[in-house]
Amino acid sequence: MKHTAYSKEHARFLIKRRKNLTLVWTLRIGVLALLLGLWELVTACGWVDPFIMSSPSRIAKTIASLYADGSLFYHIGVTLWETLAGFAIAVVLGFAVALLLWWSETVRKVLEPYIVVLNALPKIALGPLIIVWFGTGSEAIVFMTVLVGIIVAILHMLSAFIATDPNKILLMRSLGAGKWQILFKLVLPSSYPALISMLKVSVGMAWIGSIMGEYIVSRAGLGYLIVYGGQVFKLDLVMSATFLLCLLAAGMYALVVLLEKILVKNAER
């Protein structure tokens, strides 16, 4: 309806933009279709052994059979629950610890070397300990997910808290503000963008943690299917679980992007 108000040049610009967008999407889907088609072709013609490479049609069949025996959503549910629980705990705890470290410079200095070491340590090295402590259930995997995510969450938020504009802190102090007021009126609101980016990073870390946890110890979940499939040489199962993981990770990322849009809109009003 507004388009009539635009100049012809602007109309051409809009059309060009839309054409470009269509092209990008066509190519994106085309690349996927081409790869899947090639994959199917080389395995169907017997150029590559489908037993080792699997194939799109075999993946579809495997997923269908998982669905038929009712285990598809069970495994997805287990992995999803572990990931989300680990994500939530890591984010909340990480935020709280970062606040504590911001509050007290002494605590920060004391804990700094521990955090650096924990950050550098490959968490998978703690696998045997986690099995002994938490058994072989979901608790162990949630713990692993928290372990992988929390340090990143702490460091991300802490650097944002510390980066608060010193002149604004000076302004608050000149108004007679105490530490609580500086925290609630200045530090937290100004760290809002960092919180959103921390959530985004933490989603990725949570997937790493939960799948890694399932690799070490598990009786269910997509990571379990991948490991199990590898052990009994059912490459169809490995590929299917990997494919489902791709879908889930993409879906969760899309949700976070949506959340970001809502949060940013709210912040701007």
Partner 1 sequence: MKNILQFQSVTYIYHTVRGELIAAKDVTFSVGEGEFVAVIGPSGCGKTTILSLAAGLLKPSDGTIERSGTFGYMLQKDELFPWRTIEKNIYLPLEVRRQRSPQQRERAVALAEKYGLGDFLKSYPAQLSGGMRQRAALIRTLAADPDLLLLDEPFSALDYQTRLNVCEDVANIIRSEKKTALLITHDISEAISLADRILVLSARPARVLHTHTLDFGGVPPLRRRELPAFSGWFERLWGELNT
Q: What is the DSSP letter of 233?
A: T
Q: What is the DSSP letter of 171?
A: H
Q: Which residue is it, tokens 């075999």?
A: 58
Q: Which stretch binds partner 1 (CB under 8 A): 115-123, 138-146, 178-186, 231-239?
A: 178-186
CB of 171 vs partner 1, minimal distance in Å: 5
CB of 263 vs partner 1, minimal distance in Å: 12
Residue 198, Cβ neighbours under 10 Å: how many? 25
CB of 266 vs partner 1, minimal distance in Å: 11
**Cα-based distances in Å from 5 to 13, 16, 19:** 14, 18, 21
Of 90, 142, 146, 172, the one binding partner 1 (CB under 8 A) is 172
Query: What span, in angstroms and rounded, lies between the C-alpha atoms of 221 and 215?
Result: 10
Of 65, 159, 190, 242, the one binding partner 1 (CB under 8 A) is 190
Task: Restricting to residues 191-210, name those near partner 1 by CB under 8 A.
Answer: 192
Q: Does 264 bind partner 1 (CB under 8 A)?
A: no
Q: What is the DSSP letter of 121?
A: S
CB nearer to partner 1: give 107 or 171: 171
The dihedral sign for the CA sequence 216, 220, 221, 224: positive
Q: Does 174 bind partner 1 (CB under 8 A)?
A: yes
Q: Does 163 bind partner 1 (CB under 8 A)?
A: no
Q: Does 189 bind partner 1 (CB under 8 A)?
A: yes
Residues 157/191, Cβ–Cβ less than 8 Å: yes
Burial state string for 2-11 with b = 16 or more CB within 10 A and e = fewer than 16: eeeeeeeeee
Q: Does 186 bind partner 1 (CB under 8 A)?
A: yes
Q: Does 105 bind partner 1 (CB under 8 A)?
A: no
Of 185, 194, 208, 253, the one binding partner 1 (CB under 8 A) is 185
Q: Does 233 bind partner 1 (CB under 8 A)?
A: no
Q: Does 106 bind partner 1 (CB under 8 A)?
A: no
The encoded tokens of residue 3 equal: 């388009």
**245-49-61 Cα angle (round to 5):** 45
The encoded tokens of residue 158 equal: 């802490």
Q: Does 121 bind partner 1 (CB under 8 A)?
A: no
CB of 206 vs partner 1, minimal distance in Å: 28
Q: Does 108 bind partner 1 (CB under 8 A)?
A: no
Q: Does 165 bind partner 1 (CB under 8 A)?
A: yes
Burial state string for 105-114 with b = 16 or more CB within 10 A and e = fewer than 16: eeebeebeee
Using CB under 8 A, list all residues that contact partner 1: 165, 167-168, 170-177, 181, 185-186, 189-190, 192, 267-268
